[in-house]
């Protein structure tokens, strides 16, 4: 065993629209992994369940309201970054209230799962793409 590594729990969600596209957001300048495209979400705070984290983050970051039964577990990432080990459940969500807005100034894109590979994503995210393709299909352009 190597030195003890901090385990970081982050909840993420693939919002899926009526055209079978998935929402990704660009990580802003100044943050770790800046310029990479990621799924909305964030760190699970003390006392939170991952579903509560997502409901909170989706309200804060995108201005939409999601109900817990609409968050379906899809897959997860387990990835060793240099200074922590990321454990990141990825949920899928097709229903929400309100319109997605970039409330934190982040760039947003709706993309077909098969096109996710055209966007630089954090290394933890790449293994998650096949599960999304499987779930919603690659789309007509693939």
Ligand X SMILES: Nc1nc2c([nH]c(=O)n2[C@H]2C[C@H](O)[C@@H](COP(=O)(O)OP(=O)(O)OP(=O)(O)O)O2)c(=O)[nH]1
Positions touching ligand X (CB under 6 A) are 10, 12, 31-33, 38-39, 41-43, 86, 122, 124-125
In whole angstroms, give the CA distance from residue 83 to residue 53: 23
- Alpha-carbon torsion, ordered 36, 40, 11, 33, to 10 deg: 20
In whole angstroms, give the CA distance from residue 26 to residue 41: 12
In whole angstroms, give the CA distance from residue 62 to residue 125: 20
């Amino acid at each position: 065993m190597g030195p003890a590594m901090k385990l970081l729990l982050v909840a993420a969600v693939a919002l899926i629209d009526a055209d079978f596209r998935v929402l990704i957001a660009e990580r802003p300048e100044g943050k770790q992994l800046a310029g990479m495209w990621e799924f909305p979400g964030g760190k699970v705070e003390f006392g939170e369940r991952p579903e509560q984290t997502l409901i909170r983050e989706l309200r804060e970051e995108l201005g939409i309201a999601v109900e817990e039964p609409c968050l379906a577990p899809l897959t997860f990432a387990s990835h060793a970054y240099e200074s922590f080990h990321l454990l990141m459940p990825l949920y899928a969500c097709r229903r929400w209230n309100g319109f997605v807005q970039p409330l934190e100034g982040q760039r947003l894109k709706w993309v077909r799962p098969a096109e996710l590979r055209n966007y630089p994503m954090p290394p933890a995210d790449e293994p998650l793409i096949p599960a999304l393709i499987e779930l919603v299909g690659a789309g007509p352009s693939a």
